[in-house]
Amino acid sequence: MSQEEKNIKVVARNKKASYDYFIIDTYEVGIVLTGTEIKSIRNGKVSIQEAYCDVRGGELIVHGMNISRFKEGNIFNHEEAQDRKLLAHKREIRKIDQKVTLEGLTIVPLEIILKNGLAKMNIGICKGKKNYDKREVLKNKELDREKRRRRD
């Protein structure tokens, strides 16, 4: 395990993303946080289950990400469910926006990590799965389990 891998801690993961979407491409972006939000994230009080991202005015924005209030916070505590700006290079944002608009794809938050003390988000450019795709995935998982049981 390298030094860089030791400094990464996964805080929140969107487990339903791989079930509901085909993940085509992933990006690591920064999150603009205010006040006590980073303290809540370090305590693991964040949820990205219902969150989604979009590009507005040349900026990546995450909607529906819930960061709980910091318990020891005072009157300067943050709002729990507000839109937050994501940090990426302009060419990356243009590339993401182009894929989303031309190919009809979706930007989904996959996980929030702490990397060297900074909060980052892994986002995925995804295509929605149909119900028959989901059934196929579940069937394949079950077949793999059966194969492993027979080997053991």
The domain that holds 22 is classified in CATH as 2.40.280.10
pLDDT for 122: 94
pLDDT for 72: 67
Overall domain count for the chain: 1
Angle ∠(113,1,145) on CA atoms, nearest 5: 75
pLDDT in tens, the chain (152 residues): 555 666 888 888 998 888 888 899 999 999 998 878 888 888 888 888 888 899 999 999 999 888 887 766 666 665 667 888 999 999 999 999 999 999 889 999 999 999 888 899 999 999 988 888 888 888 988 999 999 898 87
pLDDT for 7: 80
For residue 32, the enclosing domain spans: 3-151
Q: Is the pTM of this model over 0.75?
A: yes
Nearest to residue 117, comparing CAs of 2, 24, 39?
Answer: 39
Contact between 13 and 111 (Cβ < 8 Å): yes
pLDDT for 116: 87
pLDDT for 87: 93
pLDDT for 4: 60
- List beta partners, residue 41: none
